[in-house]
Amino acid sequence: MSNYVFLIDANKTPMNPIHPSHAKKLLETNKAAIFRRYPFTLIMKRVVENIVAYPLTLKLDPGSKLTGFALVNNRDEVIWGMELQHRGLAISDGLQTRSAVRRGRRSRHTRYRQPRFVNRTREKGWLAPSLRHRVLTTETWVKRLCKFAPISAIVQELVRFDLQQMENPEISGMEYQQGALQGYEIKEYLLNKWDRKCTYCGAENIPLQVEHICPKANGGTNRISNLCLACQKCNQNKGTQDIETFLAQKPDLLKKILSEAKRPLKDAAAVNSTRWSLFNVWKSLGLPVKTGSGGLTKFNRTRLLLPKAHWIDAACVGITGTLKILITKIFTAKSTGHGIRRMCRINKYGFPCTAPKQTFTHVSTGDFVRVQIVKERKNLQSGTYTGRVKTPTNKGCEVVINGFRVGFSTMKGVSRIHCSDGYNYA
């Protein structure tokens, strides 16, 4: 079953999310209309007096590439899930490309933007654009959900990996380190760092053990830079051997492991850099905010025998007793941005090489449309499809449907259902 459907009354006051079958009945009896497609929201055609809504808790699992959302009701039931894909890496690559273009202009002594003074100071709480993007997109969706659902509290995974604690296990005493979650924190960090594979043989989807690169019998420590993951067979074969002896016949693998061992986890660093900014944003909304660690999230998911997914991790954030998943299909959104402000393409010398962009009133790039295909076209059978506009034309548009670009000379049979808002939905 898919997500529950959001419902608001004629005054746009949030009501309890309803089952998809209930939403279908409201549409068939003409008691409600579609207010928004993504996320799917209905609006009642009358004002509902004395709305009684049960409180919903919004749980978040912020990540570097994906952020999980889950709505849990007062009966510990997950009724709505979402995964938001960020574009922080694309922003970082774009900034590097822009820097290279400006550097090339200066070296060629052609038209370029004058360099600014280097004595500027950054404001308190400054984040790089790629990190700031993660905060802003997550904030956008939380505020959007608060308009459509009676959310009464927010629970966020605040600390995913305590890197300083793992580097120096005695920093806060042995009681913290020897707790029930200590193994989950370290194991989860290693699973992300070594891509959930055996370090020595590359085996996947099997039980993995924490292994010391330099054995403790030879003076190795429990520092995170001396730990990796190994299957039972490789762990037993290595035993107390030094890694140089164990991989003497595989010099390339040895070099790779030694270089990867001290490599920091970029995704964990991105999460740790943005966690407090997100926490401060939730506090400004005026809702109660609770937090939990990444180790506690995995502890809850393992105890409840739930599969690995970002939205399920979000549902397991914080103190969780029992949890019942009422949905199987979730809502996914991919951040695509609003394009670029450049009015035309430029060549390597910085001069325009195409005609300026055109603006159209009937449809825009990125809009979601419903199209009616009468006869088979590009392996698409006749029927009704939903796609995203790739290129508008003077009288029609080009739509991407199931990976195929289909052109329509007119807007006959093409109707817009959702305006472009910088996200791609599934």
Q: Which H or E run includes 298?
A: helix 294-303
User: For the chain, how many helices (H) and strands (E)?
Assistant: 12, 18
Residue with tokens 């659902």: 149
Nearest Cα neighbor of 322 from 82, 73, 150, 17 is: 73
Question: How many whole angstroms separate alpha carbon 167 and alpha carbon 329?
Answer: 40
Nearest Cα neighbor of 71 from 274, 244, 311 is: 311
Query: Across residues 368-379, what is the average pLDDT?
Result: 85
Is the confidence at residue 183, as pLDDT, over 70?
no
Q: What is the pLDDT of residue 284?
A: 92
Question: How many whole angstroms separate alpha carbon 68 and alpha carbon 59?
Answer: 8
Question: How many whole angstroms separate alpha carbon 142 and alpha carbon 68?
Answer: 11
Q: Between these two residues, 68 and 192, which has the higher pLDDT value?
A: 68
Is the confidence at residue 171, as pLDDT, over 70?
no
What string of DSSP letters covers 167-234?
HSTTTT-HHHHTSTTHHHHHHHHHHHHTTTB-TTT--BSS--EEEESS-GGGT----GGGEEEE-HHH
Q: Which residues pair with 386 in a beta bridge?
A: 370
pLDDT tens, residue by residue, 221-240: 888 788 889 999 999 988 88
Q: Tell me the domains of the chain and their CATH numbers.
A: 5-87+128-158+278-325 (3.30.420.140), 180-264 (1.10.30), 336-425 (no CATH)
pLDDT tens, residue by residue, 213-224: 988 888 888 887
pLDDT tens, residue by residue, 74-85: 999 999 999 999
